[in-house]
Amino acid sequence: MTDLTRLTASELAAKIHKREITSVEATQAHLDRIAEVDGAVNAFLHVDTEGALAAARKVDGDLAEGREPVSPIAGVPLALKDVLTTKGVPTTCGSKTLENWLPPYDATVTRRLREAGVVILGKTNMDEFAMGSSTENSAYGPTRNPWDRERIPGGSGGGSSASLAAFEAPLAIGTDTGGSIRQPAAVTGTVGVKPTYGGVSRYGLVAFSSSLDQAGPCARSVLDAALLHEVIAGHDPMDSTSIDAPVPPVVTAARAGLKGDLTGVKVGVVAEFSGEGYQPGVQRSFEAAVAQLKDLGAEVVEVSCPNFTYALPAYYLIAPSECSSNLARFDAMRYGLRVADDGTHSAEEVMSLTREAGFGAEVKRRIMLGTYALSSGYYDAYYGSAQKVRTLITRDFTAAFEKVDVLVSPTTPTTAFKIGERVDDPLAMYLADLCTIPANLAGNAAMSVPSGLSDEDGLPVGLQIMAPALADDRLYRVGAAYEVARGPLLDRIPELKGVSA
């Protein structure tokens, strides 16, 4: 492995901007790393070698001509979750339905990355249409956790998190509907942030659940995540849910946090997220993290959010209901997969046969759940009731944030489980998002930062930090301070077994 792939994004950017190295060198190092190890990890669905090197040459050319970098991370490579459209580059959403589809436009996130001089290495693997917690639901095979290739890297954005942990990219983009940025970050020892809902544009993000989906930064350090956050965030008139407000000062907050002082910060420990069902090693890691926050000067109190216990069932009515509507667009008539198009079948038959062939089992399960919940006679009892629970959860957050600045909990109840262990038990799979879902339902900002390794199995554990809407900067201050106190983690990752380095 070359030394360049071990550098953080901010370290790489500094070297590129000082012209100590070129962006082409940094990009090629990561492309070489992908070629070396991705056969064992399967983090990438598509590697855009030509596009990446062209973008890197553009940054190098601008710097050579004396122009200032267009952003603090210009020239730094990045892995992009394959749910965000990229003009002329395949966007599959991990589904056979969109195999080989070349979008005619860039998502706003993609466009902002390009405008910032960020080098997009390629598109990362994911659970089909972002539905899953393990990246086992991808039509293109599971992604494997670099810490232990027999285990999952989380989901739905397991490809993005695994690319970071495998040192294939220093930055990545994920999307978070019920925890799909934070849960993969927790089980791979990386940093993942779900910004405030509406803080990052959803234009060009292929929709799963429109009231919950949110793109966000993934990185190997809190500062790197903040630098990426500022690049992709901000109002977008192309997205009706985009917030027309200044981007919270996340980079300033992260740099302040690096001083390691949380004096004056009030931290609330969510009482409902502990006890039965939590792996003992995860619970002990969380308790140690809370003690560390106290040592940094934070005031820690226990906070009860009683309606959080209803978040999981509410989510699994709201999200499937919205997905059953959103995925109706994949009808074999306009774009994407089409089967049985031989002139002997009606349009309805072609549509039915195509959806049967193109969608995987989990997507079909959620479409059926959502269609049932929205059906006549059941709408009020299921979908309507779930929305009422959502309101109660939002009120719990509001009451809690009147007492504290941030809330903390384990990110996920267990460390990474083995591939195949939960595929036949959907409820066990859904429980991976037990702690992350409330922030999606309320639209609040939330982060997962590594809290060390479990003393049971030596696998990464995540600390979840939650903040009020549009107070994303609080995450970065607390997360950066804790990160400094915790010390390095990824330097303890074992080299990929069976893969030369």
Residues labelled as active-site residues: 81, 156, 180
CB neighbour list of residue 235: distance below 8 Å, 6 or more residues apart: 242, 243, 244, 245
Q: How far apart are CA 238 and CA 245, in angstroms?
A: 15
Q: What single-letter amino acid sits at 4?
A: L
CA-based nearest residue to 191, from 475, 441, 492, 485: 475
At 407, list the tokens: 């809330």
Beta-bridge partner residues of 44: 124
Q: What single-letter amino acid sits at 34?
A: I
Give the count of alpha carbons within 13 A of 277, CB side only.
Answer: 15
Q: Within 10 Å of residue 299's Cβ, how many Cβ atoms?
A: 15
123 burial class (0-12, 13-18, 19+ CB within 10 angstroms)? buried
Q: Work out whether the CA dihedral 443, 170, 489, 18 comes out positive or negative.
A: negative
Q: How far apart are CA 319 and CA 366, in angstroms?
A: 8
323 burial class (0-12, 13-18, 19+ CB within 10 angstroms)? buried
The helices-and-strands tally (H runs, E runs) of the chain is 16, 11
> Burial letters for 237-260: b for 16+ Cβ neighbours within 10 Å, e otherwise?
eebeebbeeebbbbbebbbbbbee
CB neighbour list of residue 405: distance below 8 Å, 6 or more residues apart: 265, 266, 267, 467, 474, 478
Q: How far apart are CA 70 and CA 66, in angstroms?
A: 12
- Decide: 459 and 466 in contact? Cβ < 8 Å: no
